[in-house]
Amino acid sequence: MIALALLFIVIISLLWLVMRLLKNFFEAYSNVYISESNQTAELQNNLNLQKNEMEILETEKQINALIDERLVQMEEKFPTGQTQEELSEQAPEILAITLKNMLHSSLTLMKNETLGTKN
């Protein structure tokens, strides 16, 4: 009777061991599948981030080109190569030059801020 009980305990423990090994095998298999999915998703996210960065850089280049074009136009309309004596004689033009310099500084600051926020 004791031999039969020991045999029963051995069989139960072997079944428990097989069940435990199968459980570990299926957990490992599912982890491999999940890690492959995670790698694919991570690569896709990196690709999307690079694409977005390229679009942002292109937009910034367009904005910078437009700002530079406007600055050149303002430089043509309001040249800054005048001396102090000419400026004192032409008081109304002083306001225009000051306004041009202020806009130039503002646009330059905006350009620098957009470059600063990119980094």
pLDDT digits (tens, 9 = 90+) for 102-118: 988 888 888 888 777 66
Q: Which tokens is 94 given?
A: 């002083």
- The 10s digit of each residue's pLDDT in 49-59 is 999 999 999 99
Q: How confident is the model at residue 13 (pLDDT cuts 50, 70, 90)?
A: very high
Question: Which residues, in sequence order, are CB contacts of 31 under 8 Å at separation 6+?
Answer: none
Give the residue-averaged pLDDT of 69-81: 80
Tokens 């310099």 belong to residue: 101
pTM over 0.75: no
Q: Is the pLDDT of residue 84 over 60?
A: no
